[in-house]
């Protein structure tokens, strides 16, 4: 990761420096081929006086006169042929009109000024005049510019490199079996999305591994008892000659096979939920009608209990949900309530502020508050009144939680107004 930072830093520095010097060289080339044409106010009077004096002298004495007076000006003055300096057409035209052409060499710190003689085809050349060289100034400017640029790139690249290094360390630790490790979210802004995706992936993998371990443990533990009963019943059938006794043990074997089939189905269903996210068919429909449909089924199978919808849910409540998922969740909650209710189970549905609330109450002994947080975890059983002898292996409520989370909602447990446990599901609806 350090090499990545060094390579990135060097590439950026070289790229910016190369670009900067290339642009600088380009403009220098343009300036060397383009001669600034302008009237220099300072030299107008000088050229005017020189022209006047040279007009009085014959052509043979003009150059000698300029050599004599040059020391008085402090810079060279001479006559030269117009074509010796390679002026362009625009500058030649400007000179012919009596204008002054200037030429600068910033690197050498020199300047020349040109004007055509009023009479004749020669030009007066003033210079070179020594100016302050700009090379050292440009060098300092360039050093400051590129040093500042390098600092900016460093400030930008260093957090990125540090964040990538932390993410790499987290990935390495995760790969070595530390499934609780997470990458720090206090990182460079460009890496936040990557870190969040890594943490989400790590959480899902950890959850899958945990589920796999729990599932393996549950399979070995839950299947052992019915298999042992099957073996015992088989031995008894082989040894008994009484047909009625044989039929009794065969019925026991059939019951255990049914139990095994139910356990396997429940385990596989939960495992499928952990491996893949089901595709829901969410649509607007009447949840009251669904509630009455589920309650009707339980009223037929549990006639000893008073299972009903409270608040006279006669009017439809239209909201968004997947029919199969909510039906299964409600079925699990009512089935769970049937195991522990004494006489009454009440179902209530409300829809306020675009939030659906589904409540299932029973009049059983309730659930102690210290156990409520873990109740929706898989394979969790509480006291003996709610153990596997009353049905299930602790996956029903875990399934309910997963189903409601698919609706972006949540499940909770509390105390019912009628004295027992209250299971509440809430989810948003448009």
Residue 159, in any domain of the structure: no
* Helix %, strand %, coil % of the chain (to 5): 60, 15, 25
**What is the average pLDDT across 3-31?**
66
Confidence check: pLDDT of 426 > 70: yes
Residue 2, in any domain of the structure: no
> Does residue 119 share a domain with residue 97?
yes
SS3 341: coil
Residues 6+ positions from 429 with CB-CB distance below 8 Å: 319, 320, 321, 351, 354, 355, 356
pLDDT of residue 98: 80
pLDDT of residue 376: 82
> Does residue 287 share a domain with residue 307?
yes
Out of 14-28, 280-294, 323-337, which region has the weakest mean confidence (pLDDT)?
14-28
pLDDT of residue 99: 83
Residue 262, in any domain of the structure: yes
> Does residue 422 share a domain with residue 290?
yes
pLDDT of residue 42: 62
> Does residue 366 share a domain with residue 325?
yes
Domain that holds residue 292: 282-428
Q: How confident is the model at residue 347 (pLDDT cuts 50, 70, 90)?
A: very high
Residue 212, in any domain of the structure: no
Residue 257, in any domain of the structure: yes
Number of domains in the chain: 3
pLDDT of residue 187: 78
Out of 210-219, 231-240, 259-268, which region has the weakest mean confidence (pLDDT)?
210-219
Confidence check: pLDDT of 165 > 60: yes
% of the chain surpassing 70 pLDDT: 81
pLDDT of residue 123: 85
86, 110, 131 - which closes a domain: 131
Cβ atoms of 226 and 256 closer than 8 Å: yes
240, 275, 310 - which closes a domain: 275
> Does residue 113 share a domain with residue 227?
no
**What is the average pLDDT across 389-414?**
81
Residue of 214, 226, 220 lying closest to 398 (CA atoms): 214
**What is the average pLDDT across 80-101?**
81
Residue 141, in any domain of the structure: no
> Does residue 48 share a domain with residue 88?
yes
> Does residue 415 share a domain with residue 306?
yes
> Does residue 268 share a domain with residue 386?
no
Confidence check: pLDDT of 232 > 60: yes
Residue 109, in any domain of the structure: yes
pLDDT of residue 83: 77
pLDDT of residue 56: 80
pLDDT of residue 425: 94
Tens digit of each residue's pLDDT (9 = 90 or more) over 301-321: 888 999 988 865 567 889 999
Out of 26-35, 227-236, 238-247, 275-284, which region has the weakest mean confidence (pLDDT)?
26-35
Report which listed range, 55-59, 192-196, 216-220, is most confident: 192-196
pLDDT of residue 139: 65
> Does residue 361 share a domain with residue 239?
no
pLDDT of residue 387: 42
> Does residue 267 share a domain with residue 243?
yes
Q: Higher pLDDT residue, 327 or 243?
A: 327
Q: Higher pLDDT residue, 387 or 414?
A: 414
**What is the average pLDDT across 75-83?**
81
Cis peptide before 128 (omega within 30 of 0): yes
Angle of helix 323-340 relative to helix 396-405, nearest 10 degrees?
150
Cβ atoms of 263 and 285 closer than 8 Å: no
CATH number for position 362: 3.30.565.10
> Does residue 328 share a domain with residue 298?
yes
**What is the average pLDDT across 269-280?**
70
Out of 65-69, 194-198, 285-289, 365-369, which region has the weakest mean confidence (pLDDT)?
65-69
pLDDT of residue 29: 60
Out of 44-53, 230-239, 384-393, which region has the weakest mean confidence (pLDDT)?
384-393
Residue 42, in any domain of the structure: yes
Three-state secondary structure readout of 95-139? HHCCCCEEEEECCCCEEEEEEECCCCCEEEEEEEEECCCCHHHHH
Q: Mean of the per-residue pLDDT values for the chain?
A: 79
131, 147, 170 - which closes a domain: 131
Angle of helix 189-222 relative to helix 135-175, nearest 10 degrees?
0
> Does residue 423 share a domain with residue 290?
yes
**What is the average pLDDT across 392-415?**
85
Report which listed range, 12-21, 202-211, 345-354, 367-376, is most confident: 345-354
């Amino acid at each position: 990761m350090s090499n990545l930072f060094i390579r990135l830093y060097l590439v950026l520095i070289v790229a910016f420096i190369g670009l900067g010097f290339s642009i600088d060289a380009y403009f220098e080339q343009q300036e060397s081929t383009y001669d600034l044409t302008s009237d220099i106010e300072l030299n107008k009077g000088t050229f005017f006086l020189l022209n006047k004096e040279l007009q009085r002298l014959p052509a043979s004495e003009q150059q000698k006169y300029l050599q004599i007076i040059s020391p008085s000006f402090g810079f060279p003055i001479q006559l030269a042929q117009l074509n010796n300096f390679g002026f362009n057409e625009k500058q030649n035209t400007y000179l012919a009109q009596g204008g002054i052409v200037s030429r600068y060499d910033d690197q050498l710190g020199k300047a020349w000024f040109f004007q055509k003689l009023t009479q004749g085809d020669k030009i007066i050349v003033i210079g070179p005049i020594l100016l302050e060289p700009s090379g050292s100034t440009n060098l300092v400017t360039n050093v400051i510019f590129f040093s500042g640029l390098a600092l900016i790139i460093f400030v930008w690249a260093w957090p990125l490199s540090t964040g990538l290094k932390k993410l790499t360390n987290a990935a390495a630790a995760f790969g070595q079996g530390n499934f609780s490790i997470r990458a720090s979210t206090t990182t460079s802004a460009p890496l936040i999305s990557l870190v969040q995706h890594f943490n989400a992936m790590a959480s899902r993998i950890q959850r899958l591994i945990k589920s796999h371990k729990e599932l393996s443990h549950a399979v070995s533990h839950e299947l052992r008892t019915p298999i042992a009963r099957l073996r015992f019943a088989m031995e008894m059938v082989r040894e008994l000659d009484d047909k009625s006794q044989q039929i009794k043990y065969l019925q026991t074997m059939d019951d255990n096979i049914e139990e095994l089939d139910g356990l396997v189905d429940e385990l596989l269903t939960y495992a499928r939920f952990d491996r893949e996210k089901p595709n829901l068919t969410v649509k607007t429909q009447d949840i009251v009608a669904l509630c009455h449909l589920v309650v009707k089924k339980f009223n037929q199978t549990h006639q000893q209990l008073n299972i009903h919808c409270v608040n006279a849910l006669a009017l439809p409540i239209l909201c968004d949900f997947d029919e199969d998922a909510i039906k299964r969740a409600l079925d699990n909650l009512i089935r769970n309530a049937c195991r522990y209710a004494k006489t009454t189970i009440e179902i209530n549905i409300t829809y306020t502020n675009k939030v659906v609330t589904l409540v299932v109450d029973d009049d059983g002994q309730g659930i102690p508050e210290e156990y409520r947080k873990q109740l929706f975890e898989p394979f969790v059983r509480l006291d003996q009144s709610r153990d596997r002898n009353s049905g299930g292996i602790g996956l029903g409520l875990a399934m309910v939680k997963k189903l409601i989370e698919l609706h972006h909602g949540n499940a909770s447990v509390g105390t019912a107004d009628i004295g027992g446990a209250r299971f509440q599901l809430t989810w948003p609806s448009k």
